[in-house]
A and B are shown apart, each in its own frame.
Chain A
Amino acid sequence: MDKEPNDIINEVTQGDYKYGFYTDIEMEMAPRGLTEDTIRYISAKKNEPEFLLQWRLKAYHKWLEMTEPTWANIHYPPIGYQSIFYYAAPKQRKELESIDQVDPELVKTFEKLGISLEEQKRLTGVAVDAVIDSVSVKTTFSDTLAKLGIIFCSFSEAVLHHPDLIRQYMGMSVPYDDNFFATLNSAVFSDGSFCYIPKGVRCPIELSTYFRINAANTGQFERTLIIADEGSYVSYMEGCTAPRRDENQLHAAVVEIITMKDAEVKYSTVQNWYPGDKQGKGGVYNFVTKRGICKGNNSKISWTQVETGSAITWKYPSVVLMGDNTIGEFYSVAVTNNYQQADTGSKMIHLGKNTKSTIISKGISAGFSNNSYRGLVRMGKKADNSRNYSQCDSLLLGDKCGAHTFPYLKVENKNSIVEHEATTSKISEDQLFYCNQRGIWNEGAIGLIVNGYAKDVLNKLPMEFAVEAQKLLSISLEGSVG
């Protein structure tokens, strides 16, 4: 049963389950592949109520009829959906024995980001002896929230303790049959986060998945649902700047947000999944569906994202502006280096009157990478006096990379205004020389210039996240010039 450390590393870095699990763990796993039985197995393991099982099955049957989308500007070998394990109990996650078994490049990055050794172990899946600090942090944290009536827990816990909320809101933003990847997620989702902010409550702390250590290892088919009741506010942070290794290559997450009258949700993401090595081998395929509905009048949803990881990113955080006077925002920095590919952007669907949306997208491409912005702005028939402003900038480092912009417009209302601006620039030799002449080496110079370029987006991030994100941008582009 014992494996040589080398085997374990190979297994982990090759990004699949080729060697299988230990026998005692196999008991806790559904067999490879996806059938109706797999779904029944997952649902039973999680003690789910009948309605949820039916929901999963409905999605599964729909998914069988769907075909994988091919319109995105990304290329990858076919995904073997029948060779994936769709259920493995989280506690049986394979653990490395020591940090020495982790890709040294990754460890170097951790050090540059100033991440503690314990934290490094947790993020890379090395066994951690005791996380006393985290446990106590978690407890004080939960107490504060409970006093305010805020529910913040894993999706599975919410299913067990708040089934009515799940039943009422799940699928409201992202229906079970929304798209190939979201439908797959609806059938097989493992776990994720749930958050409910009651009427009139302003959540006093940034809610972060980072704190919820228990649910941290649920990456592959994650599902998040955030409900902001009337007049409430929450700032929610997903992910962290540390690169995260995951043996699962395919990720298909779903995030749903619903805001009632006068409510506001700020959702910030730093996505830094393993991007593959310098030759483009390995790396996570990230197919995410994120959508919010501004259901009540005067409500607001903002998406802010910093995307630096993954081999493939396919992601369009969107807002449906249903209520009158609602506001949707999307601020994005997407970095691609080496052989990474990103096709990302946003959809703003204006349905109510006096609705406003803003899209600021900053793409940065280096190496041999490909970076596309894809956005849709739709002004519905009843969206009188509505406005959208979109600004899509691309910055190129080097001449082997690509930047593309695909804006789509659908205007069905004459009283609405849509503005779109786009620029493409390069880091100029003049700017580099100017920095170099002041004693700033290329790495630092690129960090400065890129952070300056992305400033409008970084400013939207919560403070402590922003500082880390700045470092991350510089690190992601190391060695990309000169």
Chain B
Amino acid sequence: MLKISNLHVSINNKEIIKGLNLEVKAGEVHAIMGPNGTGKSTLASVIAGREIYEITSGTIFYKGKDIQTMSIEERASEGIFLGFQYPVEIPGVSMTNFMKTAVNEQRKYRGQDPLNSTDFLALMEEKKKLVEIQSNLTNRSVNEGFSGGEKKKNEIFQMAMLDPALAILDETDSGLDIDALRVVANGVVKLRRPDNAFIIITHYQRLLDYIVPDFVHVLFEGRIVKSGRKELAMELEERGYEWLKNGNF
């Protein structure tokens, strides 16, 4: 589904990703861990197509297509979803209106008719139940005045609504209480299918207790320095990242 080869990315002439390789196949869950400031969010943004980052060399192929030929909206409509580390507030725009616009623009891209209000509201109800999100969030303006945890739950709700092929969740578990963590994790577990894939960026092993990843990667100074199975996450939790530095791998 996704194949990244020897990727180099810069912002303002500062190289942040320095030769990264990653392959994600349908049905897989990959966890990416690593210290602050090593380029995890940068990687997520680059896959989504954010223009402030410059790919200086290397390639990203998504569903067999060079991703650099696709706009942000095309990538989204082709099934790439990014759960933001810092979701953005859009004052005055209701969640319903926002999601309806998103769903229908994606449908239009795929040549489908737009959902009418009745069908759309039914879809919303169904997904709200699935991810256990309350109406008092979906009745409000997009992320406006949401608490940190509420914003993260709202990202999961949007993911459920858009039903992506490749979901990248950037620290969606940070700042969550135990219940919210379970909501977020269950959302992923329920949406997991053989034909979709997840990249989960996290600092904590606890999320991976709920969502068992197929692979765990350590991103360090712009490269994946170690990959393993779920046991690697536990090892990282115990030992930190120090042992991976100084060429210990």
* A interface with B by C-beta (< 8 Å): 428-431, 433-441, 444, 448-449, 451-456
The answer to whether B93 touches A448 (Cβ under 8 A) is: yes
- Are A439 and B109 neighbours in the complex by a CB distance under 8 Å? yes
A129 to chain B, nearest CB (A): 35
Q: Does B91 contact A (CB under 8 A)?
A: yes
Please indicate the chain A residues that have their CB under 8 angstroms from the CB of B105 in the complex: 439-441, 444
| B114 located at the interface, meaning its Cβ lies under 8 Å from any Cβ of chain A in the complex | no
Could you list 12 further interchain pairs (A-B, Cβ under 8 angstroms) beyond the known A436-B76, A439-B105, A448-B98? Answer: A436-B71, A437-B48, A437-B49, A439-B76, A439-B106, A439-B109, A441-B73, A444-B101, A448-B90, A452-B93, A452-B142, A454-B92
Quick one: which of B112-127 are within 8 Å of A by CB? none
Interface centre among A429, A439, A444, A449 (most CB of B within 10 A): A439
A448 touches B76 (CB 8 A): no
- Type the 1/0 row for B72-105, where 1 means its CB is closer than 8 Å to any CB of A: 1100110001101001101111000110011001
A448 near B88 with CB under 8 A, answer no
In the bound complex, residues from chain B placing their C-beta under 8 Å from that of A437 are 48-49, 72, 76, 81-82, 84
- Cβ contacts under 8 Å, B97 to chain A: 448
The reply to whether B158 and A452 form a contact with Cβ atoms under 8 Å apart is: no
In angstroms, Cα B141 to Cα A465, docked, is 22
Minimal beta-carbon separation of B206 from chain A (angstroms): 27
Nearest CB to that of B102 among chain A residues? A438
The smallest C-beta distance from B78 to any residue of chain A, in angstroms, reads 9
Contact A453 B91 (CB under 8 A): yes
- Which of B50, B82, B92, B106 makes the CB contact (< 8 A) with A453? B92
| 7 A-B pairs in the complex with CB atoms less than 8 angstroms apart | A433-B50, A434-B90, A437-B49, A438-B102, A440-B105, A441-B73, A453-B91
Distance to closest chain A CB from B114 (angstroms): 12
6 closest A-B pairs by CB: A452-B92, A452-B93, A439-B76, A438-B102, A455-B92, A439-B106
Contact A451 B162 (CB under 8 A): no
User: Restricting to B36-51, which residues have a CB under 8 Å from any CB of A?
Assistant: 48-50
CB contacts (< 8 Å) of A430 on chain B: these are 88
Interface size on B, residues (CB 8 A): 29
Q: Which residues of A contact B91 (CB under 8 A)?
A: 452-453
For the complex, give the distance between the alpha carbons of A441 and B108 in Å.
11
Q: Is the CB–CB distance between B141 and A452 below 8 Å?
A: yes
Assess whether A434 is in contact with B141, with CB atoms less than 8 Å apart. Answer: no
Interface centre among B81, B92, B141 (most CB of A within 10 A): B92
With both beta carbons as reference points, the residue of chain B lying nearest to A452 in the complex is identified as: B92
Do the beta carbons of B102 and A439 come within 8 Å of each other?
yes
Interface centre among B81, B88, B91 (most CB of A within 10 A): B88
CB atoms of A439 and B77 under 8 A apart: yes
Give complex CA distance A441, B93 in Å: 16
The answer on a CB contact under 8 Å between A439 and B93 is no
- Does B102 contact A431, Cβ atoms closer than 8 Å? no
Q: How far is the CB of A427 from chain B (nearest CB, A)?
A: 10
Q: Which chain B residues (19-59) contact chain A, with CB distance < 8 Å? A: 48-50, 52
The one of A431, A436, A439 in contact with B90, judged by C-beta atoms closer than 8 angstroms, is: A431
* Inter-subunit contact B90/A449 (CB<8 Å): yes
Which among A433, A438, A455 is the interface contact of B162 at CB below 8 angstroms?
A438
| Chain A residues positioned under 8 Å from B88 (CB to CB) | 428, 430-431, 433-434
Report Cα–Cα, A451/B98, bound state, in Å.
Answer: 11
CB neighbours (8 Å) of A434 from chain B are: 84, 87-88, 90
Name the CB-closest residue of A to B50.
A433
Report A471 CB to chain B, min CB distance, Å: 13
Which residue in chain B gives the minimum CB-CB distance to A429? B52
Contact indicator A440/B92 (Cβ below 8 Å): no
A451 and B97 alpha carbons, distance in the complex (Å): 11
For A445, the closest partner residue in chain B by CB is B101
Q: CA separation between A70 and B208, bound complex, in Å? A: 69
Which residue of chain A has its CB nearest to the CB of B89?
A431
Nearest CB of A to B103, in Å: 8
Q: How far is the CA of A429 from the CA of B53 in the complex (A)?
A: 13
Question: A427's closest neighbor in chain B, by CB?
Answer: B90
In angstroms, Cα B77 to Cα A440, docked, is 9
Chain B residues within 8 Å of A435, by CB: 90, 98, 102
Rounded to whole angstroms, the CA-CA distance of A428 and B143 in the bound complex is 15
Which residues of chain A are near B141, meaning CB under 8 Å?
Answer: 452
CA distance A448 to B100 in the complex (A): 11
User: Closest CB of chain A to B116's CB: distance in Å?
Assistant: 16
The smallest beta-carbon distance between A95 and chain B, in angstroms, is 38
Nearest CB to that of B87 among chain A residues? A434
Residues in A neighbouring B72, C-beta threshold 8 A? 433, 436-437
Within the complex, the shortest CB–CB distance from A136 to chain B, in Å, comes to 31
- Which B residues lie within 8 Å of A436 (CB)? 49, 71-73, 76
Choose one: A431, A448, A453; the contact of B101 (CB below 8 Å): A448
Query: In the assembled complex, which residues on chain B have CB atoms less than 8 Å from the CB atom of A444?
Result: 101, 105
